[in-house]
C-alpha cells in the first residue's frame, strides 16, 4: 500500500471526511494533516488549485475532492468495479459536490442581507431539488446504499453532506431541511454512524 497523507481542514466534516472515513473503514494507515483555518491563507498557494483536500501518495500529489475520494475508494474497495455501478456512485458524488460548490460560494458573501438571500434561494432551489432526488435514488435502489448494493464512497459523501446540513451550522439553511425533504437520507446517516468502524472512530476522537 502507498504511504498516504491527507491534508484537509481541522474539522470532522466537509470534503475531506469521506476520505478519512473510507481509510478508517478499511483500516489503512494515513497521516491526517489537519489545517487550522488561521493557517489556510499561508498554505493555500501551495495547493494545486487553491483548495483542500489534497492527498499525497508516496509523495506525489493529487487534489480535487471527488478525484481523491474515488482514488481512495479504489484502494479501500469502496468503489464499484462495474462501469454502470461506478457511474451511479459517481453521479451521487458529483451531485453532493454541486451542493458543496453552492454552499462554498455563499460562504464568501460579506453582506449579511445578500448572504441571507443567497442561502434562502439555495435552500429553496438546488438544495431541495438535490435532496429530493438523492432520496428518490436511495429509495429506488433498495433504501440502504446508493450503488453496487453495498457500502461505497457515495454513501460516505452523502453522509458528510447530511451531517453538515443537519448540524444547523449554516445560517439561513433550516437544520430540518433534510428531515423534511429527504427522510431516507436521515435514516441512511444514522445507520452509517452505527457502522462499527465509524462508531469506534468517532468515539475515540
Residue ranges in contact with a second copy by CB under 8 A: 48-50, 57, 60, 62-68, 70-71, 74-75, 83-84, 86-88, 90-91, 94-95, 98, 101, 105, 126, 129-130, 133
Residue whose CB is less far from a second copy, 104 or 168: 104
Helix axes 17-26, 153-166, angle to 10 degrees: 130
Residue whose CB is less far from a second copy, 62 or 169: 62
Residue whose CB is less far from a second copy, 126 or 174: 126
| Nearest residue to 97 via CA among 154, 140, 138, 57 | 154
Q: Is 30 left (phi over 0), alpha (psi -120 to 50) or beta?
A: beta
> Distance (Å, rounded) from C-alpha 201 to C-alpha 205?
6
Nine-digit cell string for 15:
470534503
**Shortest Å distance, C-beta 205 to a second copy:** 27
User: In 10 A of CB 113, how many CB atoms?
Assistant: 8
**Shortest Å distance, C-beta 156 to a second copy:** 17
Residue whose CB is less far from a second copy, 62 or 200: 62
**Shortest Å distance, C-beta 74 to a second copy:** 5
Residue whose CB is less far from a second copy, 52 or 86: 86
Task: For residue 125, give the DSSP letter.
Answer: I
> Distance (Å, rounded) from C-alpha 159 to C-alpha 186?
9
**Shortest Å distance, C-beta 154 to a second copy:** 11
> Distance (Å, rounded) from C-alpha 191 to C-alpha 193?
5
**Shortest Å distance, C-beta 102 to a second copy:** 8
Residue whose CB is less far from a second copy, 32 or 91: 91
Residue 53, preceding peptide bond in cis (omega within 30° of 0)? yes
**Shortest Å distance, C-beta 202 to a second copy:** 28
Phi and psi (nearest 5°) for 76? -105, 5
Amino acid at each position: 500500500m502507498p504511504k498516504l497523507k491527507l491534508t484537509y481542514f481541522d474539522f470532522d466534516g466537509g470534503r475531506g471526511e469521506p476520505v478519512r472515513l473510507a481509510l478508517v473503514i478499511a483500516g489503512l494507515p494515513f497521516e491526517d494533516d489537519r489545517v487550522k483555518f488561521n493557517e489556510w491563507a499561508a498554505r493555500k498557494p501551495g495547493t494545486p488549485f487553491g483548495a483542500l483536500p489534497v492527498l499525497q501518495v508516496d509523495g506525489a500529489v493529487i487534489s480535487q475532492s471527488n478525484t481523491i475520494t474515488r482514488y481512495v475508494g479504489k484502494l479501500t474497495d469502496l468503489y464499484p468495479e462495474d462501469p454502470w455501478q461506478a457511474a451511479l456512485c459517481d453521479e451521487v458524488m458529483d451531485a453532493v459536490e454541486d451542493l458543496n460548490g453552492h454552499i462554498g460560494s455563499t460562504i464568501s458573501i460579506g453582506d449579511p442581507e445578500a448572504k441571507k438571500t443567497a442561502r434562502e434561494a439555495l435552500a429553496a432551489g438546488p438544495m431541495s431539488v438535490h435532496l429530493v432526488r438523492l432520496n428518490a435514488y436511495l429509495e429506488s435502489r433498495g433504501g440502504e446504499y446508493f450503488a453496487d448494493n453495498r457500502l461505497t464512497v457515495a454513501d460516505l459523501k452523502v453522509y458528510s453532506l447530511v451531517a453538515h446540513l443537519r448540524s444547523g451550522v449554516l445560517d439561513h439553511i433550516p437544520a430540518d431541511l433534510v428531515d423534511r425533504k429527504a427522510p431516507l437520507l436521515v435514516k441512511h446517516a444514522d445507520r452509517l454512524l452505527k457502522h462499527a468502524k465509524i462508531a469506534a472512530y468517532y468515539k475515540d476522537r
